[in-house]
Amino acid sequence: MYITEEHEMIRKTVRDFAEREIKPVAQELDEKGEFSLPLTKRMGELGLFGLITETKYGGSEMDMLAYVIAVEELARVDGSHAATLAAHISLGMGPIMNFGTDEQKQKYLPMLTTGDALWAFGLTEPDAGSDSRGTKTSARIEGDQWVINGSKIFITNGASSINKGATVQVVSGENKGKKEFTTILVDADTPGFKRVSMHGKMMWRASDTAELYFDDCRVPLTNTLGKRGEGSKIMLNTLDSGRLAIGAMGLGCAQGAFEMALQYSKERKQFGKPIGHFQVNTFKLADMATKIELGRNLLYKGCWLKTNGKPYAKEAAMAKLYCSEIAREVADEGVQIHGGYGLMKDYPIERFYRDQRLLQIGEGTSEIQRLVIARHIGVFDE
């Protein structure tokens, strides 16, 4: 793969930051279910939110691999902060970067690269998850405005104090008897737009998750993202790219859990020797390392394809599927190696075991990824 000195610099910078500033407070933030504004601002100061944004909008204009490495290194220490970064860049900024007008990009992107502002991706609804076309949130045109009614749920970065709005998929009418979907940029301070934090989560407890409500929410027609009727295409295109970031979260989670298990296997002694010397644990650790290496190569290949303008949707789905699945497997084995201590909150492997569970659900379940892959390999071709 094409690992450059610049990529390694990103890895070292983010790893040092995560170890020095996130790791000492990760457990406390998880216990409190508290989103950290200071750490989010620090990620902005390091330039992480602008990694792949064009320089004319305040970004660094780096490639997809640099961004994925940053997410991977955050997830190696804490899934919540990796989620904040990944959701903001892939889902929040991504649609604006890829489908926005020059005016929309100039208005939103410079502030979204700083760490002082977050943007959300309003797709999921109570009855529209894997079936994104089950959207019920509607919008009608009155004069020069959209009038939006409905709700969204499980929206990352949707209700923090620095959230500046969301890209929202709505049903904007019908076309030949089928729902017409449009995407609209909704500013946080728009009358009729209400954002409510969700609590009681099992995982990513230090990330912000929200419900969004629209009650005759009036938005200028100039806030239409892309063309009317192209909403589903825009949102699904965004998810393709986002799968690489979720893959990075799975890879980082697996890497962190493996390192904990490896270290513990050297320190914990039973029957007069380190437990890592027992073949049953030796083989567990060898399998973990192998899975992580395979996941990294698959994920980085997807990044290379995207950066070089080649089709990458199949590889993105494969990377998301595989890396999220190995995060589950490695975290589970990590807990097993820790034994009873792995079930205690004093050990971070317990948090990793909880955090990995969302990865097989968010941004397309493992079942949906398998359907996407099946389509790409021709299963349904006549």
Whether residue 206 sits in one domain with residue 254 = no
Average pLDDT value for residue range 290-317: 96
pLDDT at 1 over 80: no
Q: Are 113 and 58 in contact (CB under 8 A)?
A: yes
- Residue 176 is predicted with a pLDDT of 80
**Does the annotation mark 45 as catalytic?**
no
Whether residue 221 sits in one domain with residue 174 = yes
Neighbour count for residue 20 (Cβ, 10 Å): 10
Range of the domain at 371: 233-376
Q: How far is CA 270 from CA 18, 267, 276, in A?
A: 33, 10, 10
> Model confidence at 118, in pLDDT bands (50, 70, 90)?
very high
pLDDT at 179 over 70: yes
- Residue 315 is predicted with a pLDDT of 97
Average pLDDT value for residue range 346-357: 97
Q: Are 318 and 251 in contact (CB under 8 A)?
A: no
In a domain, 175, yes or no: yes
Whether residue 247 sits in one domain with residue 224 = no
- DSSP bridge pairs for 21: none
Task: Give which of 76, 71, 64, 67 is closest to 19, Cα–Cα.
Answer: 76
In a domain, 92, yes or no: yes
- Give the span between the Cα atoms of 33 and 29, in whole angstroms: 6
- CB-side neighbour CA atoms (13 Å) of 84: 33
End-to-end C-alpha distance for the chain, whole angstroms: 36
Burial 30-58 (b: 16+ CB within 10 A, else e): beebebbeebbebbbebbbbbbbbeeebb
Q: Are 258 and 251 in contact (CB under 8 A)?
A: no
pLDDT tens digits along 131-143: 888 899 999 999 9
Neighbour count for residue 16 (Cβ, 10 Å): 12
Using DSSP, state whether 169 is helix, strand or coil. Answer: strand
- Residue 382 is predicted with a pLDDT of 74
Mean per-residue pLDDT of the chain: 96
- Residue 278 is predicted with a pLDDT of 97
Question: What is the maximum alpha-carbon separation in the chain?
Answer: 79
pLDDT tens digits along 193-227: 999 999 999 999 999 999 999 999 999 999 999 99
> Model confidence at 128, in pLDDT bands (50, 70, 90)?
confident
In a domain, 213, yes or no: yes
Whether residue 239 sits in one domain with residue 223 = no
User: Of 210, 228, 246, which residue is a domain's last?
Assistant: 228
pLDDT tens digits along 20-36: 999 999 999 999 999 99
Q: Give the chain's domain count.
A: 3
Q: Are 166 and 120 in contact (CB under 8 A)?
A: yes
Whether residue 16 sits in one domain with residue 113 = yes
Whether residue 279 sits in one domain with residue 244 = yes
User: Of 228, 260, 294, which residue is a domain's last?
Assistant: 228
Whether residue 178 sits in one domain with residue 86 = no
Average pLDDT value for residue range 153-168: 97
Give this prediction's pTM. 0.95
DSSP-H helix ranges across 229-312:
231-267, 279-307
Average pLDDT value for residue range 336-365: 96
> Which one from 21, 72, 315, 363 is the annotated catalytic residue?
363
Whether residue 369 sits in one domain with residue 253 = yes
